[in-house]
Structure 1
Amino acid sequence: MIFDFLVEKRTVEMMTIGRSGNVLMYSPDADGMPKALSILKEIRSRRYDAILDFEQHSLLTAAFTRATSIPVRLGFLPSKPNARGQMFTHSVQLQEGELMWNAFVRLGRVLDSDLPTSLMTIPLPISTEAEVWFHEWWNANVGIDKRGPVVAMHLGVGPSAQYRRWPAERFADLAVAIDKLQPGITVVLTGAKGERALFDEFRRCFPGNTVDAADLGGLDRTGALLRHCDLLISGDTGIMHFAAAIGTPTVGLFGPNTPACWAPIGPHAAFVYWTSQPCSPCINSYRRHIPEKCIAAQESACMWDITVQDVLNAARSVIQGSWLDDQRYTHTIQGQAHSIVPLT
């Protein structure tokens, strides 16, 4: 089975990483109607069997899907009815409160009824080029003889809804707690280059070993790094889902959004959602409701409700043979893989 992709520039890496197939790119804000018609003509000439529209609300993508005249046209129907349903031959109704992963599984089962309803992710492949880059980067920034757990922390949440962030000082408190359990940890700080102010805030509170891993130059490289980390702690972000899908032990932190819909999915994934705030969750992606500001008495009160102990407990649940309880531990980078070896 061959999959081709029509994506925007901002999603091309995430949609195509580790996959073969043709990639067509169209950006609504930058590209005009002539390019849209050119892409439509090319798609129609290839005579695909099916097309899947992963958008949840857009009438534009649904209309484009209809215009392809592909025999099987699949897409989501939003909670609030609109004309999307008229554009598809098959559709899946989004259900508020449903895990989004399950909605995607239901969409896939329209094409293949043999897909199990309990379908789990498979580790995303990382290119050989990214692995080679990683070992060079690791040796230059950490050192080939580094021992001890490597913990990635993603402090930011992207440009919108900053009230989703767990405070940088709490991340630092967590790093201190882990370092007491496993002296000599390396904390890898991931994020965009514009989030380095958070890195500085973290470092003011955590005196241990940190590595700046902002803006590595591509998702493939980020994946290579995360695959060699023993744990990722992150707010509700794309990197949280990416790490979980790779198979990295991942803990997602939730407050304004609900893990009932957006929990990380993977073989070693968990989340923390522990708040007494009556306004949580305030984000409803199914209805496209994302408040501009936090309305709690304290900014990000629901995230402040998450304690270091809460996160440690969740981390222990996803780490096999939890090194958070066992001080006989070493982390080594060997060739194309990493090993976690309790020393006897």
Structure 2
Amino acid sequence: MKTKGMTKAAAILLAMLMFALTFTACGSKEIKLNVIDKGAQTEVDAAVGMTVEEVLKKAEITVGEKDETEPKLDEKITEDSKEINVKRYAKVVVKLDKDSKTVELVGGKVSDAIAKSGFKTDGYTPDVDVNKYLEDGMTITLVKGNTVSLTVDGKTTDYPTKAKTVEEFLKEQKVELGKDDEVSEKLDAAIKDGMKITVKRVEYKTEEKTEKIEFKKEEVLSDALAEGASELTQKSVDGEKTVTYKVKYVDGKEESREKAEEKVTKEPVNQIVTKGTGAVNRDYQESEQSSQQSQESQQSQESQQSEEPAGKTVVSKQNYPDCDGSGHGYYEIIYSDGTSEIQEY
């Protein structure tokens, strides 16, 4: 029983090996190809060694007599093959006013047919999308359109257009508007020949600045000081505040700013000056006047006595007043010859 079981297992293994050898010898490697036909893509499973024509038949894609393919129909698929391009033949008519021309192209678009027609198309636009692939028998009519001047992102360009409104025109030119951007014309305004449309790029930013708060001056009356007298009783200090601005930028340049918020970060300290309102001490005032007169008299005498001796000049003259408030004192005079002199007053 055991011998029979092992024989059966060996037979199954041998059969699997023979199948694998047969597949390797006779089979072909499968690859995936993209078939591109007028912009549309179809993925097809193909075997290495198949011809392009066989792959297209498998994909149920029909090729006309005047159509072309890359690679050509009789070329074989290799492991490095990636795609097959089908180029369709088209015979089309291009019309401009009363003139018309028939052109033939393989794998072309509307823009190619217009270029081949040789028509001067300034101010004209086709009634078909210029990027559309040509269809055999198609008629392309060039229509006199409006020319619009567009200024956006620092550039001004004239464009022929079939758009009916400003919004359609901007979409046609692939101009995307930000939520704050400004347009010189209303979006629902009708397009007119020669219209000028300006798009301003608008951006709002929040900016903070530290600004000074100026101190104030205050006056306080006090009878502790004599009338007419004053003194600084509190020094001033400027304060500070943080101001938040909403700034509008148009095409990258600041156009306006608006104060949005402000917060005091340092309170100012006001300057306080105290002014006296008290009674004046008359005896003291008279004493002061007498002392002043005495000093003036002594200065006059000093002026008379300070004439320089012949042949020498005064180098310095230092005043030493008495400390008792009597108005007396003396001068120490030093002359250019090195001598000195004491003059009392």
Instruction: Report if TM-score (shorter chain) is over 0.5.
Output: no
The TM-score bracket by the shorter chain reads under 0.3
TM superposition score normalised by structure 1: 0.18
TM superposition score normalised by structure 2: 0.18
RCO higher in structure (CA 8 A, sep ≥6): 1
